[in-house]
Amino acid sequence: MPPRSAPPDDSEAIASYRQAAPSTPLLPNVRAPRATLAAALGLGVLAEVLLDRPLWGVSFPLVVTALLGTLVLLGGRESWQRARPNAWLAAPLLVISGFVAVRASSWLLALNLLTSAALLLLLTHFWAAGRVQRLGLLGYPLVALSATFRGLLYPPALVRDSVDLRAAREHAPRLLPFARGVLIALPVLLVFCVLLQSADAAFAGAMNRLFDVDVWTLFGSAIGRALGVGFSACVAAAALGHALRRRRGQERGEAEAAPAVPRLGLTEALTLILGVDALFLVFAGFQVAYLFIGGASSPAEGYTYAEYARRGFFELLLVSMMTLGLVMALARWTRRESPLAQGAFRVGATLMVALTVVIVASAVKRMTLYEDAFGYTRLRLFTHVFMFALGAVLTWRAVTLWWRPERFAIGAFVTALGAVVAVNAVNPDALIVRLNIARATDSSGPDVSYLSGLSSDAVPELVRDTAPAQGWRTGLLLQYKERLPAEGSWPEWNLAHARARHALQGAGALGHQQ
């Protein structure tokens, strides 16, 4: 008999299986897939435990901090060396995510969550390489979209590289007879069960009690938590996998964008610029005369000043945004072949930006007059912050016309982050209460119906300097007391709710309730 061959080595068998396995060219390669998958599952469990609650408080910044810490630990020193130039993005991410535990306004919650998501997408993209300051204005949304869609490929890639499906495929044929046996047994068991129930009342009662069990009540919570862990783990796997990815070729932000080929002549561009400058100069003169120097009387027959302010605000805002786009387009496409041409273009464009800042100031003044007439709301305060941010971006555009034009986009991005931080620091709901109470001159007080719809951020300001004669305050405090969330577990702790509870207790609205 011929000698029997030695059994094949397991490592060789696994290697041959992986070579024979169908390739997945769409899925990326992952570094340390098992460690990354374990970390993603751990973050999924943590997120489910902390975030599966009626309210998000300190839980959200804790999850963000855990994700960043895991990213640093998994990447190691080599990854940190590549990520260090863009690591400053973690600072605004931690600050803005932390405001989720500070403010209670639903508007601020949505703004903080969206901003945190955008910062996390940028951070994961630039963790591998590149510089965020090299992006153009369109680069920011494109990087966010790219990171989102590419991140979706990493959860299946991690499973592919971490879990050996060879054993499952080998044992799958053995399970088929068992599955066929179950399918054959089910109808037979059903017939016998019906007959035996008819034969014995005690057995029938036991079977009825068995079938009356609500399976969803028993297992629904566990299934829901498992789905929540799976979803959170997929999000964590997408973020970790994309941040620690193996790069293929050059990506956005690894090199400065190539300058556009100028296509517009200097004469044509200066004609447009000077024409717009002349129009804006005349308009700015009227605005300064009416809004900043004159007596603020109605400039047109049949209009009150409040109507005049409301009528022109959005038009001026649109003009300001269009002018910013026009200056950017002209700076990109205009030929400037000599120092004299460059200087003439810069002077004309700078004058256009300066006059546009005057138009923005006019819009701000109009909004202020409208608020004086009709009161302050969240939308109007958010619009104020947006206009100040737009004025800052326009000023930065004027600076970059003369110095480092390629840095305009990063300046606009930092301004947007500053606006998000500023609107959180201002605390709009508390400011609305203070300003609307201050402008109320009659005994009926401010617009109580609007104030009653604000968040817990407004309560400390409402309680401050309470006068017994002002009955509308008492009614408002009772409404806030009814809406105030009960004290939950520590992950739901929120500074605004804690301050509101303390203020209501101090005012006697909560009595001795905890």
Residue 155 CA, chain-centre distance (Å), reads 22
Domain ranges of the chain: 24-161, 266-426, 431-507
User: How many other CB atoms are there within 10 angstroms of residue 342's CB atom?
Assistant: 15
Find the length of the chain.
Answer: 514
C-alpha angle 209-215-218 in degrees, rounded to nearest 5? 105
CA distance 372 to 367: 9
User: How many other CB atoms are there within 10 angstroms of residue 273's CB atom?
Assistant: 22
Residue 63 CA, chain-centre distance (Å), reads 15
C-alpha angle 135-350-410 in degrees, rounded to nearest 5? 15
CA nearest to 20, candidates 165, 162, 163, 171: 165
CA distance 440 to 353: 38
The phi and psi torsions of 334 (rounded to 5 degrees) equal -90, 135
pLDDT in tens, the chain (514 residues): 445 444 444 444 444 444 444 456 678 878 788 999 999 999 999 999 999 988 999 999 999 999 999 999 998 888 888 889 999 999 999 999 999 999 999 999 999 999 999 999 999 999 988 889 988 888 899 999 999 999 999 999 988 888 776 666 666 677 778 788 888 888 888 888 888 878 877 877 877 777 776 666 667 678 888 999 999 999 999 999 999 887 776 777 777 766 777 888 999 999 999 999 999 999 988 888 776 665 555 545 566 666 666 677 788 888 999 999 999 999 988 988 889 999 999 999 999 999 999 999 988 888 888 888 788 999 989 999 999 999 999 999 999 999 988 899 999 999 999 999 999 999 999 999 998 888 876 666 678 888 889 999 999 988 885 555 467 778 888 888 888 888 888 999 999 999 999 988 887 765 544 4
Bridge partners (DSSP) of residue 334 are 264
pTM for the whole structure: 0.84
